[in-house]
Amino acid sequence: YVILVFVALALWFVSRLLDSPFGAVIEAIRENEKRAAACGYDVARSKLLVFVLSAGICGLAGALRALHLSIVPIDSLHYLQSGQAVMMCLLGGMGTFLGPFIGAAVFLYLEDVVTNVTRYWMGVVGIIFMVFVLFFPKGVWGTALDWVARWQRKLKSGGA
């Protein structure tokens, strides 16, 4: 439960950060870096600050994982770990707040189901990942948000 408290605090912090004026600067840099620089924002400094904050949160997550496991397994240093994190973010939807959480849930569910079926789970999950990237380019959460927005537009236009 201690880890859950830290996750909740990190989510609260990131949510507050994104809703702040600095969050607007980060979004402006994401959309058009040159335009943000032309508006007078220090792009390099903002990027460095975001990198340091994300590294701090990731470091805290790693420390909590090590405390939880009471050991740092050697596979946690394997390059596949960072690849899995990227896959989780892409599956859920980059640029969305809840997307990486949903992507992690989808990825871990797929991994669990496929490992019970075949020992070549990495290949099968890779193929499923490619299908998701082709048919859900905004990720699961981003696509779901698009579907909801489209459905709401249809309801408004049909009711008018």
Q: Which domain holds residue 62?
A: 1-76
Given 26, 42, 76, which residue is the final one in a domain? 76
Given 76, 99, 122, which residue is the final one in a domain? 76
Q: Report pLDDT for 7.
A: 87
Pairwise CA distance, residues 46 & 79, whole Å: 28
| Domain shared by 24 and 52, yes or no | yes
| Domain shared by 60 and 109, yes or no | no
The string of pLDDT tens digits covering residues 24-82 is 999 999 889 999 999 999 999 999 999 999 999 989 988 888 888 888 888 777 777 77
| Domain shared by 51 and 87, yes or no | no
| Domain shared by 153 and 102, yes or no | yes
| Domain shared by 64 and 85, yes or no | no
| Domain shared by 159 and 82, yes or no | yes
- Read off the pLDDT band of 13 (50, 70, 90): very high
| Domain shared by 86 and 156, yes or no | yes
Backbone angles phi, psi at 42, to 5 degrees: -80, 95
| Domain shared by 90 and 148, yes or no | yes
| Domain shared by 42 and 102, yes or no | no
Report the predicted TM-score, pTM, of the whole model to 2 decimal places. 0.69
| Domain shared by 103 and 36, yes or no | no
Pairwise CA distance, residues 108 & 113, whole Å: 9
| Domain shared by 5 and 72, yes or no | yes
Given 76, 98, 126, which residue is the final one in a domain? 76
- Read off the pLDDT band of 9 (50, 70, 90): very high
Left, alpha or beta for 55 (phi > 0: left; psi -120 to 50: alpha)?
A: alpha
Q: Report pLDDT for 37.
A: 92
| Domain shared by 3 and 67, yes or no | yes
Q: Report pLDDT for 159.
A: 55
Question: Is residue 160's pLDDT more than 60?
Answer: no
Q: Per the structure, how many domains does the chain have?
A: 2
The string of pLDDT tens digits covering residues 73-113 is 887 777 777 788 888 888 888 777 888 888 888 888 888 88
Structure tokens at 29: 């840099």
Q: Report pLDDT for 96.
A: 78
What is the rounded average pLDDT of the residues 132-139?
82
